Homo-oligomer: A and B are copies of this chain.
Amino acid sequence: MKTFSSRSDVPRIVDVARAARVSITTASRVLNGVTTYPVAAATRERVLAAARSLNYSPSALARALVTKRSRIVGVLVGDIVDPYFAEIVRGVEAVARQAEYLVIVCNTERDPALERRAVAALRDYSADAILFAGGDFGDEEAGRLLQAELEPVLARGGIALALAGDRPGLPAIDIDHTAAAAELTRYLIGLGHQRIAFIGGPPQVSTARARLAGFLAAMAEAGLPANWILDGGYSFSGGLAAGTSLAGTVEAIVAANDQMALGALAALRTAGLRVPADVSLASFGGTSAAAQAVPALTTLVIPREQIGAVAMQAVLGALAPQPVVIASQLLPYTIVVRESTAPRLPEDAR
């Protein structure tokens, strides 16, 4: 077994330097492709050859320690199982990969304490940016505690961003949830439905409140009563329960996310109702699960992958030598009509 510099079993830059018979500095310069510094072509070649033959790869830890940049970005997600978040992460990763950033996904289980721990861990590892996917939850006290953990990251020049959901004080990359929910509701109204229910998310979550507001606005605007507002907790089971209690009383349902819509769908079917013949069902999100349901769900598609990508781009800009200040931005959404919604049929045609 080869041995390297004193204490390590893996090649270090000093090994490369030695093998190439240059100083560590020169090796570092070549390896980092520093263009502002002149290095003789022959020297450069020797260093590169040495690095390759030793299979050298620099320690990101040591580098981070001196450069003050870890090239780590953390993404906090409320529920790792929910494809909603997975696609945001995907967008972040795609951009991060190109920029040689390491993405750390932290699952908070929508628990403020866990979220705090995650932020603390990212802070300890000197993450350059923290992206909060999926908006605020927890009370004010939790918000303050979180802020305290986050503060050192910002103090070091780190970035914090809100993705697809509000975070007080942070720039947001998002869609207009209220407008979007209103538009989805209007679509159902345009189909002729009048008795429309809304299955919402947890009221502590900002997106849940925004979507509800949009629904209410659209109903009011059409002069329709909003008599069926339920809390489905953003979960399948919550949607199931809501759907069960709604069965037979409404003509259409807007669910504030796909998971709840799936739950409602299961409930309706169990109750012997046909979708969309008896009840139209539309949801918010646009995850693959919505497309895979039977019938496939009409949903408002949030450009989650794009949100992730745009956010990561913004992070890179803000971390660049000439920092670009990050401004909140609203991205466009689209309604995809599938099989779960249909025009209202006259009573006798059903």
Interface set of A (CB-CB < 8 Å, partner B): 8-10, 55, 57-62, 64-65, 70, 72, 80-81, 83, 86-87, 89-90, 93, 97, 102, 104-105, 107, 117, 120-121, 123-126, 148, 152, 155-157, 236, 262-263, 265-266, 269-270, 288, 292-294
Main secondary structure, interface of A, reads helix
Residues A90 and B83 in contact in the complex (CB < 8 Å), given A102-B104, A155-B9: no
Output the nearest chain B residue to A122 by Cβ-Cβ distance. B102
Point out the residue from B57, B107, B270 that lies within 8 Å of A294, measured CB to CB.
Answer: B270
Which of A58, A117, A152 has most chain B Cβ within 10 Å?
A: A152
Point out the residue from B9, B58, B81 that lies within 8 Å of A124, measured CB to CB.
Answer: B58
Measured between beta carbons, the chain B residues less than 8 angstroms from A86 are 80-81
CB atoms of A60 and B93 under 8 A apart: no
Point out the residue from B55, B70, B269 that lies within 8 Å of A148, measured CB to CB.
Answer: B55
29 sampled A-B residue pairs with Cβ under 8 A: A8-B156, A9-B157, A10-B155, A55-B148, A57-B123, A57-B124, A57-B152, A59-B65, A60-B126, A61-B70, A61-B125, A61-B126, A65-B65, A72-B125, A80-B105, A81-B86, A81-B87, A93-B107, A97-B117, A102-B104, A102-B121, A105-B105, A236-B292, A263-B292, A265-B294, A266-B292, A266-B293, A266-B294, A269-B294
